[in-house]
Chains A and B, each alone.
Chain A
Amino acid sequence: MSQSNYAEIGQVTTRPQELAAHRTKRRVRERLIEGLLFFSALSSIGITAGIVGILLYESLVFFEHVSVVDFLTDTQWTVLFADAHYGIMPLVAGTVVTSAVALVVALPVGTIIAIYLSEYANSKLREMIKPVLEMLSAVPTVVFGYFALLFVTPLLQRFLPNLPGFNMLSAGIVIGIMIIPYVSSLSEDAMKAVPVQIREGSYAMGATRLQTALRVLIPSAFSGIASAYVLGFSRAVGETMIVAIAAGQQPNLTLNPMEGAATITAYIVQVSLGDLPHGSIAYQSIFAAGLTLLLMTLAFNIGGYLLRKKFREIY
């Protein structure tokens, strides 16, 4: 408290009436500040409401022209052509393939790192490795995109000569590397949270560190590890710049990672960079694509939540 405040209190306490007035003023100020803080906290709900509201509102314009059935079953996405088809499937396929490649890289590596850091590494090594992993997740995605297109793709082409310049494989691998820190740090936190007695019980039975990790820690920490995987998936599905740069811009209904294909996010970027007028169907299609993306992550998050609830261990 500042000097003047003490002086103020000193003056006030001599007169009861002024003291009462001072108290009221103080109470009003406290209330006002609490209200202000409350509205700041409420703003986060506002963001969610804004996201859902805007996406639904703008998508409606799109779905007035395109039926939901066509949107989900048509196998072509040729919004920018004269013969326009509005089937989201090719874009969903691109998103699923790049995310799947990313998860194949990130889940095993992330889990191994988590086990290593929580069970094997001493604190000195851990203090060194964690900041490096943190920095990896801080690299701007556009830089990762450059890396995928101009470093990883040429590297892969040495082993796979038929790999096209734009392909989902290299984009997926780089997304996978990018999300390793998310998977490893959350999984490690979950493993660390397993009570030490459970671990000691396992060691007392003569189990090695690896056996303890695989048979005791992972089952006990499963709900936390599942959250880590879900967050990793959300990041992979929503990743934009890496795929926009390295996976190509052509919608392509394929499950082959060696081909190039546009993802939902890459399509949104492509349209945003063009000069289509607001209100045209092609322009509104980016909101429908965004809504699809949001629903995909939402479905996965709910699935993860149910899985966590089923396997939750309470100590």
Chain B
Amino acid sequence: MKMTGPRDLATRVARRKLYDGVFGILGLLATFIGLITLTALILDLATAGGSRLSWQFFTSFPSRFPSQAGILSAWVGTALVMLVTALTAVPIGVAAGVYLEEYARKNWLTVLIEINIANLAGVPSIVYGLMALGLFVYQLRLGHSILTAGLTLALLILPIVIVATRESIRAVPGSMREAAYALGATKWQTVKDHVLPYATGGILTGVIIALSRAIGETAPLITIGALTFIAFLPGSPIKSEFPFVSYEWLMSPFTVMPIQMFNWVSRPQEEFHLNAAAAGLMLMVMTLAMNGLAIYLRYRFRKRIKW
């Protein structure tokens, strides 16, 4: 290295400090990109779609006339698909997480399952759609139905639920388990009565985030053949006569909110774009509310539980 005099050194130090400061400002600006984009997005949707939001918009079927079209079949479809997804993904995902964290021996099969779950996070969602098309629609003949859609999204969010379950179970201290064992509890009693209750907050947070991702998923549902124009509702799950519940709706064709929005945004007419913006605004409200709830819950549980 070249020898430098004290003055030379001082200018170099000053220059380093300047770079450091400039990067500090650059970093701050970069972090605001997220905020700026979110604000621009919401304002854009609100100014375009705000005027279309009315009672009529929520209670109307899609229509050839943009001003009469609504999202009734779309939000009902979204709610029913999410019901199937949650009822499938949550039990299986939590069970898998419990197994991997509490029961699994450290062998090649466990390692394989772990690598596999990590890799599933990188698989594009449309590939899940193609798999569901081949498996559920053509092999198992479940049709282009709410059941198929719910199962497809369940597979998609299963890795998220498993990872969230594992992380929150891992946070429960080992002394809790040892205390339970010392009192003669079996493994399952320990898990069910002591580990899971403490992990519930974390699991719930993960499930909500996973479901908020599923609500916005469009591509896999288009791939399994969701319709874009549905002017009827699936059969009601509750019947007035015995046995009071009906599963007919599971096999019904459907559309969901993001597909309805996609349909409107890909039409050339300007008026339909307004409907798309209104539907997008509703989607944003739903996903942001769910994420906000998850962030709040995480904060609450983190604060309340002190080991």
Question: Taking beta carbons and an 8 Å cutoff, which residues of A are in contact with B?
Answer: 1, 26, 29-30, 33-34, 36-38, 40-45, 47-48, 50-51, 54-55, 57-58, 109, 112-113, 115-117, 120-121, 129, 131-136, 138-147, 149-151, 177, 180-181, 208-211, 230-231, 234-235, 237-241, 244-245, 265, 268-269, 272-273, 278, 286-287, 290, 293-294, 297, 301
Give the residues in chain A near B158, CB-CB below 8 Å: 43-44, 47
Give the residues in chain B near A58, CB-CB below 8 Å: 130, 134
Give the residues in chain B near A45, CB-CB below 8 Å: 112-113, 116
Question: Taking beta carbons and an 8 Å cutoff, which residues of B are in contact with A?
Answer: 16-17, 19-20, 23-24, 26-28, 30-31, 33-35, 37-38, 40-41, 44-45, 48, 91-93, 95-96, 98-100, 103-104, 112-113, 116-117, 119-131, 133-135, 138-139, 155, 158-159, 162, 185-189, 193, 209, 212-213, 215-219, 222-225, 228, 258-259, 261-262, 265-266, 273, 276-277, 280, 283-284, 287-288, 290-292, 295
Q: Report the separation of the CA atoms of residues A44 and B113 in the bound assembly, to the nearest whole angstrom.
A: 7
Task: Identify which of B24, B38, B116, B122 gathers the most chain A CB atoms within 10 Å of its CB.
Answer: B122
Closest to A144 in B: B41
CB distance from B153 to the nearest CB of A (A): 13
Q: Choose from A116, A141, A286 the contact partner of B27 (Cβ within 8 Å).
A: A116
Q: Choose from B26, B135, B209, B259 the contact partner of A50 (Cβ within 8 Å).
A: B135
Main SS class of interface, A: helix
Main SS class of interface, B: helix
CB distance from A153 to the nearest CB of B (A): 12
Give the residues in chain B near A136, CB-CB below 8 Å: 34, 37-38
Tell whether, in the assembled complex, residue B218 and residue A141 are in contact, meaning their CB atoms are under 8 Å apart: yes
Task: Identify which of B24, B31, B129, B162 gathers the most chain A CB atoms within 10 Å of its CB.
Answer: B31
Q: Report the separation of the CA atoms of residues A138 and B215 in the bound assembly, to the nearest whole angstrom.
A: 10
Give the residues in chain B near A297, CB-CB below 8 Å: 122-124
Q: Choose from B117, B121, B216, B273 the contact partner of A231 (Cβ within 8 Å).
A: B121
Given contacts A139-B216, A297-B123, contact A211 B16 (CB under 8 A): yes
Given contacts A116-B27, A116-B28, A177-B33, contact A37 B96 (CB under 8 A): yes
CB distance from B8 to the nearest CB of A (A): 15
Given contacts A142-B218, A142-B262, contact A120 B27 (CB under 8 A): yes
Q: Report the separation of the CA atoms of residues A18 and B228 in the bound assembly, to the nearest whole angstrom.
A: 63
Given contacts A41-B96, A47-B155, A181-B34, contact A142 B131 (CB under 8 A): no
Tell whether, in the assembled complex, residue A208 and residue B265 are in contact, meaning their CB atoms are under 8 Å apart: no
Task: Identify which of B27, B186, B288 gathers the most chain A CB atoms within 10 Å of its CB.
Answer: B27
CB distance from B277 to the nearest CB of A (A): 7
Could you pull out 11 A-B pairs where Cβ atoms are within 8 angstroms?
Answer: A41-B99, A44-B96, A134-B291, A140-B280, A140-B283, A146-B280, A208-B19, A245-B262, A272-B133, A272-B223, A287-B134
Tell whether, in the assembled complex, residue B126 and residue A142 are in contact, meaning their CB atoms are under 8 Å apart: no
CB distance from B107 to the nearest CB of A (A): 12
Tell whether, in the assembled complex, residue A38 and residue B92 are in contact, meaning their CB atoms are under 8 Å apart: no
Give the residues in chain A near B290, CB-CB below 8 Å: 138
Tell whether, in the assembled complex, residue A113 and residue B112 are in contact, meaning their CB atoms are under 8 Å apart: no
